[in-house]
Amino acid sequence: MCGILGQINFKQNNINETKFQKALDLQSHRGPDDSGIYQDKNIIFGHRRLSIIDLDSHAKQPMVSKCGNYILVFNGEIYNYIELKEELLKKGYKFTTSSDSEVLLNSFIEYGIKCIDNFRGMFAFAIHDKIKNETYIVRDRLGIKPLYYYKDNNQFIFSSEIKSILSLIDKKKLNKKAISSYMSFRYPILNDTFFKDIYSLTPANYIKIKNNKIEFKEYWSLIDKFKEQKEDKGEEYYITKLREILEDSVKLRMRSDVPFGAFLSGGVDSSVITAIMAKNSKEKIKTFTIGFEEDGFNEFEYANIIAKQYNTDHKKIILSGKNYIKNLEKLITFKDAPLSVPNEVPLYLMSKELKKYITVVLSGEGADEIFGGYGRIFRSPYDYERIKNIDNLNISESEKEELAKDFIKKYGVRFFKNEIEHFMNIYSYTSYKDKKELLSFELEEIEKELEDKFLYYFNQIENESYYNKIMYVFEKIHLVGLLHRVDTTTMATSVEARVPFVDHRLVEFAFTIPIKYKLKWIKDKPITIMSDKISESYDIPKHILKKSYEDMIPKEVLYRKKMGFPVPLHNWFGGDFNKYAKELLLSDKAKKRNIYNTLNLEKWLNSDKLKENHSFAMKIWMLINIEIFIKKYFD
């Protein structure tokens, strides 16, 4: 796990190595253990190293092949590097290190860019071929590792973090599209960033640069996996296969030459990972949980159950809101973006604490997306189906009237034209109406572009069920933002997070499992109740995962209601946090930005809802993030 930076000039060779080194060192938190630069003619590659596999200095990067023709910079891990190395040894390759980096480099020499098909891992890397004078820049299949790029007529720059790119270019401009996307979906979803002309490489894509021409190519897709759902192989088959793949995924992610442990929240996903780790380790697994002192804002009780059952070396971290803003400001400078959710701050503080004991941590992200964990949203197609066919439902006219009223109460409208309109209503965190109230710039064209992004993925699998479309979109759009949060909060403290549920083989398999095994009805389908009241009362989200681990996880943990990771935001807005928000968002500078609708914003800041309603408080929290970000990067 590291930080990478590269610059390719298209015209005269005017690379400034001193400037490049300073840009690279801005990522020193990603790689505090070593640093290296390789320069040749019109290219320069840089690497900051966090040593995880083969701690010796001879495994440092940029790594140059024995023949001297190939140069690699690599951020991430190839977990199956031992098996790949055995194959390469049979083909006559010699190795001077025990690192996965050298395996990656030799795999490229042997198989070309097709080598990525063999990799199980998380990766963002670049390889330059001096003979062919071409460069490949690659991002892993699901977006676990970040990779940003900037291009103009003179150069192409890529980096693990935006700050390094900013220090190498002359100008930066705020991207208002990203602000609108952020308010709706918590991060920019158009492969853009908060800076105009700086982009995020789409997961499962690579860039090829040759003769100053830039080509983008997708190398992996989930689309064919849906077809396998049509053949129901029975619950027992899916349970057996799921355990086989997941346990292999966890074991692979325990490969490390430095101490490792696990986040243990007390939820299903982290509990399952901890149980598998304990089963496959001779030593005690180190586990960490975090929460706030306020009642109802931690899950210590459930984390303790698992820690005790598996005899882990367990540490509990208790937070207060005292230094929240200070740490929020600090984390924004690591992320080069507003934070997505309030719990990024506690995750960062937990990573800071656990760095005292371990360098690698396994985390449970990615399970909700593939197994149907967001019950309120994943069960919502049932609302759409019923309201669309309300005249044909086998209920009385008065019940139909009540159902229609409940639908309007939940969604604000009586009907939706199509699935995408319904999905945007339930998935958007901030409604278009609220955005128009809070933001002062033109939103209509941006809104269309954002909706088209979802429509693009819906259309890719247009003949599939609405349930499958939602799960596909969550994997292609929602997950990327989630993984970025994990990367930022851990790498800011020089900790490597590994996510076993985001193993591409597990994801592929999960998309072959019929929906009925993910969202399992446990009672007769209620015809007159909305999906948010159905979820976890009439059905079991993530049923197949929970059923698979009934022998290892107590039912009180497996089958309790989903909690998420709450932060007592609305409580804080009753005191100093409210004062801070007003001083920040109603300042003269903020008013002049042409971003916020100050009159409406002032009403929101004075509303009692701010102290009572978490969702209301969350929108103000997001605006605070935007203003802190703009002050840091543009004032």
Alpha carbon 439 to its chain's center: 26
CA distances from 363 to 262, 366, 527, 583 (A): 6, 9, 38, 37
Q: What does residue 460 show for φ and ψ, rounded to 5 degrees?
A: -60, -30
**Architecture (CATH level 2) of domain 2-218:** 4-Layer Sandwich (3.60)
Percent of the residues in the chain that have a pLDDT greater than 90, as a whole number = 83
The average confidence (pLDDT) of the chain is 93
pLDDT value for 566: 61
The DSSP output letter for 169 is S
Burial of 29 (0-12, 13-18, 19+ CB in 10 A): middle
Biggest CA–CA distance in the chain, Å, is: 79
7 pLDDT exceeds 60?
A: yes
Tens digit of pLDDT for each residue in 310-327?
Answer: 999 999 988 776 778 889
Span 223-370+472-515+545-558: which CATH code? 3.40.50.620
Listed residue (121, 365, 103, 99) closest to 253, CA to CA: 121
Q: For residue 1, what pLDDT band results from cuts at 50, 70 and 90? A: low
Q: For residue 296, what pLDDT band results from cuts at 50, 70 and 90? A: low
pLDDT value for 295: 61
294 pLDDT exceeds 80?
A: no
Percent of the residues in the chain that have a pLDDT greater than 70, as a whole number = 96
Task: Give the torsion sign (CA, 516, 522, 528, 530).
Answer: negative
Listed residue (619, 149, 558, 602) closest to 338, CA to CA: 619
Q: If you average pLDDT over residues 447-452, what whole number do you get?
A: 97
13 pLDDT exceeds 70?
A: yes
Residue 329 CA to residue 625 CA, distance in Å, equals 8
Listed residue (217, 206, 43) closest to 130, CA to CA: 43
570 pLDDT exceeds 70?
A: no
Is the pTM higher than 0.85? The answer reads yes
Domain ranges of the chain: 2-218, 223-370+472-515+545-558, 569-634
603 pLDDT exceeds 60?
A: yes
Listed residue (569, 570, 589, 573) closest to 581, CA to CA: 573
Q: If you average pLDDT over residues 431-447, what whole number do you get?
A: 96
Joined tokens for residue 325:
């803003």
32 pLDDT exceeds 90?
A: no
Which segments of 461-568 does DSSP mark as H helices, in order?
466-473, 479-491, 504-510, 515-518, 531-534, 543-548, 555-558
573 pLDDT exceeds 80?
A: no
Which segments of 228-358 does DSSP mark as H helices, in order?
235-252, 268-279, 300-309, 324-335, 344-354
pLDDT value for 298: 72
20, 43 Cβ separation under 8 angstroms: no
Tens digit of pLDDT for each residue in 39-81?
Answer: 998 999 999 987 776 556 666 889 999 999 999 999 999 999 9
Q: If you average pLDDT over residues 218-241, what whole number do you get?
A: 95
User: Could you write out the DSSP letters of every residue in 316-335?
Assistant: EEEE-STTHHHHHHHHHHHH
579 pLDDT exceeds 80?
A: yes
Length of the chain: 635
Tens digit of pLDDT for each residue in 338-380?
Answer: 999 988 998 999 999 999 999 999 999 999 999 999 999 999 9
Active-site residue list: 2
pLDDT value for 49: 83
Alpha carbon 239 to its chain's center: 26
Q: If you average pLDDT over residues 156-182, what whole number do you get?
A: 97
Return the number of other C-beta atoms located less than 10 Å from residue 593's C-beta: 18
Alpha carbon 501 to its chain's center: 12
Tens digit of pLDDT for each residue in 513-567?
Answer: 999 999 999 989 999 999 999 999 999 999 999 999 999 999 999 998 876 666 6
Q: What does residue 91 show for φ and ψ, rounded to 5 degrees?
A: -85, 0
Tens digit of pLDDT for each residue in 79-96?
Answer: 999 999 999 999 999 999
Q: If you average pLDDT over residues 172-191, what whole number do you get?
A: 97
Residue 42 CA to residue 7 CA, distance in Å, equals 8
CA distances from 339 to 9, 201, 344, 406 (A): 33, 20, 7, 34
Q: For residue 614, what pLDDT band results from cuts at 50, 70 and 90? A: confident
Q: Which residues contact 83 (CB under 8 A, 6 or more apart)?
A: none
Tens digit of pLDDT for each residue in 108-124?
Answer: 999 999 999 999 999 99
Mean pLDDT lowest for which of 153-167, 249-263, 289-303?
A: 289-303
Listed residue (73, 124, 84, 140) closest to 107, CA to CA: 84
